[in-house]
């Protein structure tokens, strides 16, 4: 993998989008975490920042990372403008090279897909090990391609949540799969268009 190429690609993706004043959180995050006590969260691939801002609004302290400096800089400015600058730390980070340090009560990885080489199993295994006891790892993957997705490969195969869990290969004495399903929802694209999509949802809790 050429890190420069990956950085340039994702900088281009975000630079081509209008800056969102109020980016929306992912539905699978809000349905999973609403009502749970706040703590320290790590948002892997924070993108436009909807998840990080929502968590910060729920009193979480969030470390939000992305390979794109454009995404990170926009999120830092948004957090400050929303009065959440003290709860959101936005940092450019390439998880292909290293994993962000620290211990967390929640780690979320929404649509951590890329056209470049990325050993996702290793990244997600590192995430599971970075959880504190009782902490949760929420992995939400595409189960289908939206019409506005950058990846329109008709031959792409989306691993099931159970396959993703098997690839992470965690000791069941320490980590428990709390959810592994494939719900559908109506998604809204960057230009307001809508389509039904499938999510692959995996929720793992560290029990020891």
Minimal CA–CA distance to 179: which of 163, 206, 167, 161?
A: 161
- 178 domain residue, yes or no: yes
- 27 domain residue, yes or no: no
Supply the angle between the helices 161-168 and 120-129 in degrees, to the nearest 10.
Answer: 70
pLDDT score of 123: 97
- Could you tell me the two tokens for 206? 């560290």
If phi > 0 it is left, if psi is from -120 to 50 it is alpha, else beta; for residue 187 that is: beta
The span from the CA of 117 to the CA of 111, in Å, is 15
- From first to last of its 208 residues, the chain has per-residue pLDDT tens of 456 799 999 999 999 888 888 899 999 999 999 999 999 999 999 999 999 999 999 999 999 999 999 999 999 999 999 999 999 999 999 998 989 999 999 999 999 988 888 899 999 999 999 999 999 999 999 988 887 776 667 778 889 999 999 999 999 999 999 999 999 999 888 778 898 999 999 999 999 8
pLDDT score of 156: 80
pLDDT score of 76: 97
pLDDT score of 1: 46
- 29 domain residue, yes or no: no
Supply the angle between the helices 69-81 and 3-15 in degrees, to the nearest 10.
Answer: 40
- 129 domain residue, yes or no: yes
Residue 175: count of CB within 10 angstroms of its CB: 22
Residue range(s) defining the domain that contains residue 126: 3-11+37-206
Q: Return the CATH number at 179.
A: 3.40.50.150
Single pTM value for the model? 0.92
Q: Residue 66 in contact with residue 94, Cβ under 8 Å?
A: no
- 141 domain residue, yes or no: yes
- 201 domain residue, yes or no: yes
pLDDT score of 150: 65
For 67, residues 6+ apart whose C-beta sits below 8 A from its C-beta are: 6, 7, 10, 45, 92, 93, 94, 95, 96
- 128 domain residue, yes or no: yes
Q: How many domains in the chain?
A: 1
Q: Residue 3 in contact with residue 117, Cβ under 8 Å?
A: no
- 43 domain residue, yes or no: yes
> What one-character-per-residue DSSP string does 144-204 give?
S--TT-S---TT-----HHHHHHHH---TTTEEEEEEE--EEEEE-TTS-EEEEEEEEEEE
């Amino acid at each position: 993998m050429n890190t420069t190429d990956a950085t340039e690609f994702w900088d281009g993706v975000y630079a081509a989008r209008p800056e969102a004043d109020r980016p929306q959180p992912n539905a699978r995050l809000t349905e999973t975490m609403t009502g749970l006590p706040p703590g320290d969260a790590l948002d892997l691939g924070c993108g436009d920042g909807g998840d990080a801002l929502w968590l910060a609004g729920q009193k979480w302290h969030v470390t939000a990372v992305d390979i794109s400096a454009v995404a990170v800089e926009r999120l830092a400015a948004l957090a400050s403008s929303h009065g959440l600058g003290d709860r959101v730390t936005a940092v450019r980070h390439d998880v292909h090279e290293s994993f962000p340090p620290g211990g967390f009560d929640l780690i979320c990885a929404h649509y951590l897909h890329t056209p470049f080489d990325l050993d996702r199993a290793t990244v997600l295994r590192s995430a599971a090990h970075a959880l504190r006891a009782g902490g949760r790892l929420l992995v939400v993957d595409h189960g289908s391609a939206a019409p506005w997705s950058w990846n329109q490969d008709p031959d792409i195969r989306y691993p099931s949540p159970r396959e993703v869990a098997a690839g992470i290969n965690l000791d069941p004495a320490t980590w428990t799969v709390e959810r592994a399903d494939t719900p559908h929802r109506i998604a809204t694209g960057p230009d307001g268009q809508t389509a039904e999509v499938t999510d692959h949802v995996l929720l793992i809790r560290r029990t020891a």
